[in-house]
Amino acid sequence: MIVNIITLFPDMFSGVFSESILSRAIQGGHLDVRLVHLREYGLGSHRVVDDTPYGGGGGMILKPEPIAAALENLPERGRVILTTPRGRLFRQADAMRLSSLDVITLICGHYEGVDERVSELFVHEELSIGDYVLTGGELPAMVIIDAVARLMPGVLGHDTTVSGDSHYHGLLEHPHYTRPREFGGLAVPEVLFSGNHEQIRAWRREMAFRKTRETRPDLIGNAMYGGEGEDKE
């Protein structure tokens, strides 16, 4: 997958892409990240990329011309996504959908926002990673790329690793245990030593449902009890 990232701060991504799973995905040829420095497409000798908002108000707005020029200079653009607090909430279903694409382009919003004509002319969807405001769209872009990349075939190496993740079937993930068998006065549930795989699966489904009901009851309507639910928009 080719991932274009249009950003004012490309250096923010260096650590993210040089470590762990994302680094392996890039080295393995599964992920081709192309950072585009928006300032290079700024206007005039000062490379201006922002301006004051029409109608007054505080802050600055990213101008449309530099973003348009950056997009038009891309060899492949694919699906264009703007990271913005006003966007639709990014969910596991979105990560799964985007992981099947060959090319995506992420525009990292900044300042008070992006000129609306960018969205109207170029953007396919606006995404947010939560109901809060960050200083820029770089961190959301990192989150989206991480969530998408780990679902791509060959990145993690074990398909079963992601199929049991929280949100994969609409429920939160069941509890996990490893050695020692007892810790802090708490013992690992006996069912996990039973060797009965059907009982273990049933226990995990029940625990996933219980955890979801306690922590995120809003998700219950998006999942079927048996763990075969589907995400809904």
Active-site residue list: 85, 112, 150, 165
Q: Are 78 and 2 in contact (CB under 8 A)?
A: yes
Q: How do 61-62 and 113-114 pair as beta strands?
A: parallel
Q: What's the burial of 74, exposed, middle or buried (CB within 10 Å: 0-12/13-18/19+)?
A: middle
- Give the separation between CA 98 and CA 149, rounded to whole angstroms: 9
- Give the separation between CA 90 and CA 185, rounded to whole angstroms: 39
| Cα dist from 105 to 98, 127, 146, whole Å | 11, 12, 14
For residue 6, what are the β-bridge partners? 36, 107
| Type of residue at 19 | E
- Give the separation between CA 5 and CA 14, rounded to whole angstroms: 12
